[in-house]
Copies of this chain bind each other. A is one copy, B any other.
Amino acid sequence: MVATIKDVAKMADVSISTVSRVINDSKPVSPEARRRVLHAIEVLDYRPNEVARSLVTKKSNLIGVIVDDIGSMYVSYVLRGVEEIGRMYNYDIILLSSYGDPELELKFAKLLFQKQVEGAIIISSTLNQKLMYRLEESRIPYANINRFYDIEEDLTVRINYEEVSFNMVEYLIEQGHKKIASLAIRKDIDRTEEKYKVDGYESAMKEHSLKSSNIYTLGIDEKSFLDISDEIDSAIKNGVTAFFCSQDEIALHLMNYLVDRGMKIPDDISVTGFGGTAMTNIYRPKLTTVRIPYYDIGAVAIRRILKKIEDKDNFSEERILLPVEILKRDSVKKID
C-alpha cells in the first residue's frame, strides 16, 4: 500500500495538520515534531498525492500545450523552451497534438479545462479562432505561438522579420547580386509574417534601386513548391541569380529542384532561407539563413503565461521582441 498523510501522522504520533505543515513549510512546527515527521516520511517513503493537493489548492501546476504536429522540427524546438522553463517553475506540460484538426482542438480545450490546467500554449501553423475563444471563455490564459500568423491582439512573442529580411537581402546585394527574387507563401499573407519578410525584401531592393520580383507558393510542402516551378524557371531565364526564401523548407525544395536539374548551388544560383533548423546545417551546401530563436520563443511564451497566472489582474501586455541572427554559410556566392 502507498502511504498517505494519515499513515505518516500516525507513525509520527502527530496530527495530519502537523505533517502537512512540515511538508509545505507553511507554519512553524516544533523541532521535535518535525524530526519525527521527517523520519516517518523517510521510513514510509511517503510522497504527497498531487491530485488531492490540486483538488484543495486549485493549482494543478499543469500547462496544456496544443501543437499541430510534434513531428515538426519547428514545434519541437519551441517545445524545448516551453518545457524547460516550465520545469523551472514547477509546471508540467500536458501535450496534445491535433494534426491540424480544428474540431479536435476544440475538444482539447474542453479536456484541458477539465484537467484544470492553469494555462495553455498553442504551437501551430494555422489559426483556430474558435479554440482561442473557448480558452478565453474557460478563463484559461493562453499564448499563441504561430509559425506564420501575426496576431496583434494576442500574447505573442515576435522577432523583427522586416529588419532581418532587409539585412539578408542587403547581404545578397553586397555579394554582387542584382536580380534577386523573393519566394514566399501567399496564403493569408496579410495576416502572416510572410508579409513582413516580403516588405523587408522590397525595402532593401528599393533602397538599392533594384527591381523586385515576387514569387508566391501556396504552402510550405514540396507539392506546393512544384506548382510554381514554371515561375522559377522563367525567373532564372530572366537572369535571377539569387532567391530570398521566406522559409527554410522552401529554400531546401528550391535547391533540390535546381540540383535535380543539374544546376549548382551556389555557383549557378544563390539561395537563402529563414528558420535555421538543424537540417540547414546538414544539407550541402550549408544554407545561409536566418536563425529564429525557437527555444526562446517558447521560453518567453511560457514565462508570460506563468506571469499571467500569478497576477491575473494587472498584467502588462508588452510584446517581446526577440533578436535574430543571420547565419552566413555556403549557399550564397559572391559574384562580380
B284 close to A260 (CB less than 8 A): yes
B115 close to A51 (CB less than 8 A): yes
For chain A, residues 80 to 127, give those with C-beta under 8 angstroms from any C-beta of chain B: 80, 83-84, 87, 92-97, 110-111, 113-116
Interchain CB contact (< 8 A) of A93 among B48, B87, B94, B255:
B94
B70 close to A73 (CB less than 8 A): no
A269-298 contact mask (Cβ, 8 Å, vs B): 1 or 0: 000000000010011100000000000000
Interface bracket on A: 35 or more
Question: Which stretch in A52-60, A158-166, A171-179 binds the other chain?
Answer: A52-60
A256 part of interface (Cβ distance < 8 Å): yes
In angstroms, Cα B62 to Cα A294, docked, is 28
A44 part of interface (Cβ distance < 8 Å): no
Least CB separation from A252: chain B residue: B282
Tell me the minimal C-beta distance from A19 to chain B in angstroms: 15
A49 close to B80 (CB less than 8 A): no
A214-233 contact mask (Cβ, 8 Å, vs B): 1 or 0: 00000000000000000000
23 sample A-B contacts, Cβ–Cβ < 8 Å, listed by A number: A49-B116, A50-B114, A50-B116, A51-B51, A51-B55, A51-B60, A51-B116, A52-B55, A55-B55, A65-B95, A70-B76, A71-B73, A71-B79, A84-B97, A92-B94, A93-B95, A94-B94, A255-B284, A256-B282, A259-B284, A279-B279, A279-B282, A284-B284
- Knowing that A47-B113, A51-B116 are A-B contacts, what are 11 other residue pairs whose CB atoms are under 8 Å apart, sorted by A's residue number? A49-B55, A83-B96, A84-B97, A87-B96, A92-B95, A92-B115, A93-B95, A252-B282, A260-B284, A279-B279, A279-B282
